[in-house]
Amino acid sequence: MSEEKKIAIKKIQATGFLRKIMADYFYELNDAAKEDSPKIAWCSSVGPAELLLSLGFLVHYPENHGAVLGSSRTANDYIPVANAVGYSPDICSYLTSDVGAFIKKETPLSRAYEGIEGIAKPDVLVYNTNQCRDVQDWFNWYSRELGVPAIGISTYRNIGKITDSHLQGIVQQTKDLIPPLEKISGNKFDIDKFRSVLSLSKDCTLMWKKVLEANAAIPAPISFFDATIHMGPAVVLRGSPQAVEYYKVLLKELEEKNAKKDGAVEGEKFRIYWEGMPIWGKLRNLAEFFIGFKTAVVASTYCNSWIFDSFDPEDPFMSMARAYTEIFIVRDENFKEKYIEEMVRKYKLDGILFHDAKTCPNNSNNRYGMPERLEKKLNIPSLTINGDLNDLRCYSEEQAKTNIEAFIEQLETK
């Protein structure tokens, strides 16, 4: 088992279409920034994007840029730059790499897309603290730097059962965003536009969910590592027809793969769950490593986090408040444990891998005894690897791979 084999990752044909719609998205933002129209909002990844789109904003997601910095392995060039202006190496490395890149006036998008020289500057910054406090601090940094307003929604965290009293305040905070956003965009809020964007977001969500559920098949047609790339439209293009169209194409391909039993891992032997953030700079490396051990990373909390089941165009404010509050990261330990339990059953998994991301405690769910409780309850092994989403100084490849190998041996003996 110790020999690392060189194995090619199977191609997904829809990737060409994905590249095109992502390129169109970045060029549209770039053009709008040059012409100062339409206005640009920066939004946290599970922030009120549908409201912004309905008011005519183009939306940039700094976390998406953080992931680009991570996957292009440039994040470590920039993290120290943000550390030097007072942002600790222990806080979110999306934040520190993005702020560092801004200070250095660089972006990997310039290398990927000819003619794009920088990130389109915002007219407003809009966050929801449902995921963490870092997004607020991150946007406040840009607010001071660029002299544009940072406004947002403060959400409860660690919620078990969600009640109307949790949601009423979020609904009101969302409505309170409308007057300043109308002023900045120059457009009047239109409830029908809002409903129609929400409806497109719902369609995107439902298609993305089906894509992920295609992996209930044995063998699984797409790996977690590929899914983190293919989730791009669910993050940055939700609320647009392109995202819906894209997932129809991807789903069709995965269904065809399922019909032929063409798994992402040839000879799939083990199926595991990835809990926590991706290690963006090591996606390919880890994908190949797991293929070498005939182990499919089938399902994850991370990719599921862009499923917003509750969107309802008939009740747009309340349903949006609900959808952005019921996501995994907002919930308490009991909810999370049950959720993972269900995932293990649904996807017929043999083990759970927890990624303890040094700079994101919010997405590191191994720290309060959950692996031990789940092992006992489900009678399957778990493994925790230490690493980070973007800061590769926190990740020891040798140690992680030794541990993964031992974990797979454990699955074999079971």
Residues at the site binding ligand SF4, with contacts judged by CB under 6 A: 63, 92, 94, 131-132, 134-135, 360, 362-363, 389
Of the pair 87, 247, the CB lying nearest ligand SF4 is at 87
Report, in Å, the least distance between residue 46 CB and ligand SF4. 9
Q: Which long-range contacts (CB under 8 A, 24 or more apart) does 4-10 make?
A: 4/289, 4/292, 4/401, 5/292, 6/288, 7/288, 7/291, 7/292, 9/223, 9/225, 9/226, 9/264, 9/284, 9/287, 9/288, 9/291, 10/262, 10/264, 10/266
Of the pair 194, 308, the CB lying nearest ligand SF4 is at 308
Report, in Å, the least distance between residue 329 CB and ligand SF4. 6
Report, in Å, the least distance between residue 287 CB and ligand SF4. 21
Report, in Å, the least distance between residue 64 CB and ligand SF4. 11
Of the pair 74, 131, the CB lying nearest ligand SF4 is at 131
Of the pair 134, 350, the CB lying nearest ligand SF4 is at 134
Q: What does the alpha-carbon distance between residue 122 and residue 142 come to, in Å, rounded to a whole number?
A: 9
Report, in Å, the least distance between residue 62 CB and ligand SF4. 9
Of the pair 131, 325, the CB lying nearest ligand SF4 is at 131
The first and second tokens of residue 104, run together, are 């250095």
Of the pair 66, 108, the CB lying nearest ligand SF4 is at 66
Q: What does the alpha-carbon distance between residue 31 and residue 38 come to, in Å, rounded to a whole number?
A: 9
Report, in Å, the least distance between residue 76 CB and ligand SF4. 16
CA 341, 345, 350, 354 dihedral sign is: negative
Report, in Å, the least distance between residue 362 CB and ligand SF4. 4
Of the pair 87, 293, the CB lying nearest ligand SF4 is at 87
Of the pair 92, 126, the CB lying nearest ligand SF4 is at 92
100 burial (CB, 10 Å; 0-12 / 13-18 / 19+) is buried
Classify residue 385 by its DSSP letter: E
Of the pair 134, 253, the CB lying nearest ligand SF4 is at 134
What's the CA dihedral at 183, 185, 191, 197 to 10 degrees?
A: -150
Q: What does the alpha-carbon distance between residue 249 and residue 258 come to, in Å, rounded to a whole number?
A: 14
Report, in Å, the least distance between residue 336 CB and ligand SF4. 14
Q: What does the alpha-carbon distance between residue 343 and residue 147 come to, in Å, rounded to a whole number?
A: 44
The amino acid that residue 245 corresponds to is: E
Among the listed residues 109, 71, 112, the one whose alpha carbon sits nearest the alpha carbon of residue 93: 71
Of the pair 238, 271, the CB lying nearest ligand SF4 is at 238
Q: Is 384 helix (H, G, I), strand (E, B) or coil?
A: strand
DSSP assignments along 104-138, one per residue: TT--THHHHSTT--SPPPPSEEEEETTS-SHHHHH
Report, in Å, the least distance between residue 133 CB and ligand SF4. 8
| H or E element that contains 233 | helix 232-236
Report, in Å, the least distance between residue 142 CB and ligand SF4. 14
Report, in Å, the least distance between residue 200 CB and ligand SF4. 24
Q: Is 54 helix (H, G, I), strand (E, B) or coil?
A: helix
Q: Is 152 helix (H, G, I), strand (E, B) or coil?
A: strand
Q: What does the alpha-carbon distance between residue 333 and residue 344 come to, in Å, rounded to a whole number?
A: 17
Task: Look at strands 124-128 and 295-300 and give their pairing.
Answer: unpaired
The first and second tokens of residue 246, run together, are 């894209």
Of the pair 94, 194, the CB lying nearest ligand SF4 is at 94
Radius of gyration (C-alpha) of the chain in whole angstroms: 21
